[in-house]
Amino acid sequence: MTKELDNEQILRVVASFFGYVMFSHVWQGKEPSFQDVNLVKSVWNLPDTLLNEKLRSFCKEVRRLGHNWAWSDTCCIDKTTSSILNWSLTSMYKWYADSAATLVFLADVVHPSKLGDLTNSSWMTRAWTLQELLAPKVMFFYDSEWQPYLDDTGANHKGSLAIIQELADAMKIPRRTIVTFSVDNFSERERLRLASTRNATIEEDVAYSLIGIFESNIRPYYGEGADALGHLLEEILDRSGEITVLAW
């Protein structure tokens, strides 16, 4: 066996052991926080509530898929520490891009799901969805009972023609863009057009959810309101040197 093959095997073993899975979902109320989990030391020790069970179901599915590490924005970020929160927001796109997989929970899609249910889900229009859809290489979509969307048990829903075409039609972008997106193959104007269809319950998230997609250097600061989007657009304009980039 050659040294190159040995190295490849080592890399596969390391990737298998340390690979992590990201969670994409719509917040439904008082989700379990970093402090909640830290207090009881494990998600399995959390009280039996609907939202705690959602987190546990995510962890169970991660384990079933053969992975050892799971990450959820609800409880893996200490949001009481501004430096950690800001670092997390600016790193989020890379975390999704480098993940072994991203699991999408569609709480408002009943089982059995059918074509079109995903398009009508509230997950589709939230601000953070854009990067959570475009960044990962592997994705799985689940209905409200944690069953695969459209009963698709394939190895990667980004390889599902039906699911990706549904997303492409809803977002009005080419199917291949969802599968192979990179910041280099989508113009700033096109990225701004995609972002314009997003909704956010927190005003600043309209901008902060785009930090990775635009490779932005803006510093998150909750409390700046609409100025957050202004800072992002100002940076994009300075970088492009073309005011027409804003005519998306």
CA 190 to chain centre: 19
How would you class 22 by CB atoms within 10 Å of its CB: exposed for 0-12, middle for 13-18, buried for 19 or more? Answer: buried
Lowest mean pLDDT among 53-62, 123-132, 176-185: 176-185
Of the given ranges (61-70, 106-115, 176-185, 228-237), which has the lowest mean pLDDT?
A: 176-185
First to last CA, the chain: 55
Reported as a single tens digit per residue, the pLDDT across 147-166 is 999 999 999 999 999 999 99
> Tokens representing 53?
């069970």
Residue 14 pLDDT > 80: no
State the Cα–Cα distance between residues 237 and 232, nearest whole angstrom.
9
Average pLDDT over residues 173-196: 84
Q: Which range, 36-45, 187-196, 237-246, is most confident?
A: 36-45
Instruction: Show the tokens assigned to 25.
Output: 């979902």
Residue 84 reports pLDDT greater than 80: yes
pLDDT at 218 over 70: yes
Give the C-alpha separation, 215 to 6, whole Å. 35
Pairwise CA distance, residues 38 & 76, whole Å? 10
pLDDT at position 137 is 96
Dist. CA 189–CA 160, nearest whole Å = 28
Q: What are phi and psi of 191, to 5 degrees?
A: -65, -40
Cα(53)–Cα(45) distance, integer angstroms? 11
Residues 226-236 have a mean pLDDT of 92
pTM: 0.91
Nearest-angstrom CA–CA distance, 48 and 132:
28
Provide the 3-class DSSP secondary structure of residue 178: helix
Average pLDDT, the chain: 91
Q: What percent of the chain stands above pLDDT 90?
A: 75
3-class state of residue 1 by DSSP: coil
Looking at the chain, which runs of residues are DSSP E strands?
Answer: 20-24, 69-71, 101-105, 139-142
